[in-house]
């Protein structure tokens, strides 16, 4: 069991290494002639106006909140799904009631109009 996790640990080292090497090769062989105009950030041919890392209104922060709820509840459902074959009918019904509560939450959010892009 630990062996498989060791393999994944090694994979976590190897996976970033391959694209990193692919980027380091052109660091050596590619030309490098920076000049001030080339280094400007692109803004439709104009000089960049003001700070680029600006704040703007994010229309979907409520979406992110709903996402959080749904994702956590989906994680709760995974053990239920794994053990499904051994569950009694009562536990299956319990799981379905849980999903219905989830669905009710979605309907509530829908009726409260937080799912509208505004």
Partner 1 sequence: MSDPVNLISEWFRELLLGWGLSSTLVQLISFAIGAVVVCLVAMTVVILLIWVERKIAGRIQDRLGPNRAGPFGLLQPFADVIKIMTKEMITPDGADSVPFNLAPVISVAAVLLIWAVIPFAATVVGADIHVGVLYIIAVGSFGIVAILMAGWSSNNKFALLGAARAVAQMVSYEVPMVLALLIPVLLAGSMGINGIVEAQNVWFILLAPIATLVFLITSMAEVGRAPFDLLEAESEIVAGFHTEYSGMKFGMFYVGEFLHVFTIGALIATFFLGGWRGPGAATYPILGFVYFYLKAFLGYFVITWVRLSLPRIRIDHMLAFSWKILTPLILVILMVTAILVKVLENANVWLFTLVMLTANVFIGWAAVQIMKQVEQSKPPQQTFEGRPVAMAPKPPASANS
Q: State which of positions 26-85 bind partner 1 (CB under 8 A).
A: 26-27, 29-34, 36, 38-44, 48, 52-54, 56, 58-60, 63-64, 66-67, 70-71, 74-75, 77-78, 81-85
Q: Name the minimum Å distance from CB 109 to partner 1.
A: 8
Rounded CA separation 62/113 (Å): 11
Q: Name the minimum Å distance from CB 16 to partner 1.
A: 4
Q: Does 108 bind partner 1 (CB under 8 A)?
A: no
Per-residue DSSP letters for 13-75? HHHHHHHHHHHHHHHHHS-----TTTTSPPSTTSPPPS-SS-----TTHHHHHHHHHHHHHHH
Q: Are 58 and 90 in contact (CB under 8 A)?
A: no
Q: Name the minimum Å distance from CB 84 to partner 1.
A: 5
Site for partner 1 in 86-105 (CB under 8 A): 87, 89, 92, 95-96, 99-100, 102-103
Q: Are 102 and 73 in contact (CB under 8 A)?
A: yes
How many residues touch partner 1 under the rule CB under 8 A: the total is: 72
Q: Does 106 bind partner 1 (CB under 8 A)?
A: yes
């Amino acid at each position: 069991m630990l062996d498989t996790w060791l393999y994944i640990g090694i994979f976590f080292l190897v996976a970033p290494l391959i694209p990193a090497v692919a980027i380091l090769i052109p660091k050596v062989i590619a030309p490098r002639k920076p000049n001030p105009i080339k280094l400007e950030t692109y803004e439709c041919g104009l000089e960049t106006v003001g700070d680029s890392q600006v704040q703007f209104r994010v229309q979907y922060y409520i979406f992110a909140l709903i996402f959080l709820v749904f994702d956590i509840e989906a994680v709760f459902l995974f053990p239920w799904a794994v053990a499904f074959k051994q569950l009694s009918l009562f536990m299956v019904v319990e799981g379905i009631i849980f999903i219905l509560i989830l669905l009710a939450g979605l309907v509530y959010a829908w009726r409260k109009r937080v799912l509208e892009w505004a």
